[in-house]
Structure 1
Amino acid sequence: MKCSALQAVVLSLGLAAASSVSGQTQSAGQPIGDRTPSAQPDANKTAHDDSFVIGNDDVLAISVWKEPELTKSIPVRSDGKISLPLVGEMMAAGQTPLQLEREITEKLKNFITSPEVTVIVEKVYSRKYNILGEVTKPGSYLLTADTTIMDAIAAAGGFRDFAKKTGVYVLRKSTDGHETNLKFNYKEFLKGKNSAQNVKLQPNDTIIVP
């Protein structure tokens, strides 16, 4: 009986350790081609977040209570639309999950009594940034929360040998189409000077490394 109890304790500790290791997630940026679950923001944070705007290629989990045929994961197409039974085609891009939820609810009232709809952004593929020029792996990357210029450079494998580290800059377009340049001097940053220049990236920012 004593051996059996000891084995049970060892097995319990082993399962707890395995659970702890499996619960760890990657914090580094992921290239667009590597759409792993670890690259996605927490879906619960984007369920009814009025600051998050749905974009093309995002995957939405749409649930209608007691209506299993209307409960599914739907990707947002390149034209910004989704297609749902009874509702048909509707524009999803440009709306928050809560706005889309309300619109689907209104349309379903023609077919269902008091529909209860939930819209969650299951996977985020629309938020991305570009890094071009003298880095090891230039290209487009998924934008996770709080990604800075330094994070982006690290995700791209760092500078190449002849990169002009004092002349890095970010091209950013405002909603009215106006373009601004945000300068980043890597050498100054390493010396602890002007740390504020290491700004957080926004969707569609492009980092240029000359």
Structure 2
Amino acid sequence: MKSIVNTLLFGIALIVSGAVLAADRYLLNAGDVLEISVWNEDSLQKTVIVLPDGMVTFPLAGEVEAQGKTVADVQAALKQQLKDYLTDPVVTVSVVNVDGNNIHVLGKVLNPGNFVMSKPLDAMQALSLAGGLSPYAKENNIIVLRRIGDKQQAIPVHYGSIIKGQDLTSNVMLKSGDVIVIP
């Protein structure tokens, strides 16, 4: 009986630590919803949305950059800014919704549209989410459009080669905001 309890506790610990690690790796995006609270300060509990400029606003702390940062980064920045008003503030930040982590699939797929990435996805997985290619799709002319700063980059995805086990490097990992175009 004792070994069963220990095994269950170990399993729960692995699940919780995996979730914590995933939250530490996730980079926030505009549109993500955060729950921010300061321990023992009822007036400092707020749900915020990462704005299009990448900022969140919190009482006393003002604006804090969130886009491209981890939850831990935002937590540390808020704690630092609140130190001017509170003695050793204990700040908790959690992601309520990852609405800002979107990709777009356009063109000759069965279900084109906007998709929320709740976990890392590659191009083939995104095409699967969109229902797969239509019979008229040009499978080796697919591109991923990615914005880097103020420039646009076109990354080829050779679907026909990938499904044959060739040119697997063209099955790129997607980033928030990527647009997959299937002619």
TM-score, normalization: structure 2? 0.75
* One-letter amino acid matched to 1:192: G
Following the alignment from structure 2 to structure 1, what is the Cα–Cα distance between the partners of residues 22 and 39?
A: 20
**Aligned counterpart, 1:44:** 20
Match for 2:171 among 191, 198, 205?
198
Q: Which runs of 5+ in 1 are unaligned?
A: 1-41
**Aligned counterpart, 2:48:** 74
**CA 1:54–1:104 in structure 2 vs 1: closer, same or farther (change >3 Å)?**
same
Identity of aligned residues (%): 34
Deviation for aligned residue 1:43: 6.2
* One-letter amino acid matched to 1:188: S
Deviation for aligned residue 1:162: 1.4
Q: CA RMSD in A?
A: 2.5
**Aligned counterpart, 2:94:** 120
Q: State the Cα deviation string for residues 77-132 of structure 1 (Å, max 9, x = none).
A: 33433332333444433433233222221222232211111222232122221111
Q: Which runs of 5+ in 2 are unaligned?
A: 1-17
1:137 maps onto 2:111 in alignment: yes
**CA 1:195–1:88 in structure 2 vs 1: closer, same or farther (change >3 Å)?**
closer
* One-letter amino acid matched to 2:101: R
* One-letter amino acid matched to 2:94: I
Following the alignment from structure 2 to structure 1, what is the Cα–Cα distance between the partners of residues 29 and 83?
A: 26
TM-score, normalization: structure 1? 0.67
**CA 1:74–1:209 in structure 2 vs 1: closer, same or farther (change >3 Å)?**
same
Deviation for aligned residue 1:65: 1.6
**Matched residue pairs, number?**
166
Following the alignment from structure 2 to structure 1, what is the Cα–Cα distance between the partners of residues 76 and 39?
A: 14
Q: State the Cα deviation string for residues 160-210 of structure 1 (Å, max 9, x = none).
A: 2311123222223334625132232x2322222223322221222221111
* One-letter amino acid matched to 1:44: V
Following the alignment from structure 2 to structure 1, what is the Cα–Cα distance between the partners of residues 137 and 42?
A: 55
* One-letter amino acid matched to 2:168: S
**CA 1:83–1:191 in structure 2 vs 1: closer, same or farther (change >3 Å)?**
closer
Higher fraction of strand: 2
Following the alignment from structure 1 to structure 2, what is the Cα–Cα distance between the partners of residues 135 and 55?
A: 26
Following the alignment from structure 1 to structure 2, what is the Cα–Cα distance between the partners of residues 46 and 60?
A: 16
**CA 1:109–1:56 in structure 2 vs 1: closer, same or farther (change >3 Å)?**
same
Higher alpha-carbon Rg: 1
Match for 1:159 among 133, 140, 143?
133
* One-letter amino acid matched to 1:64: V
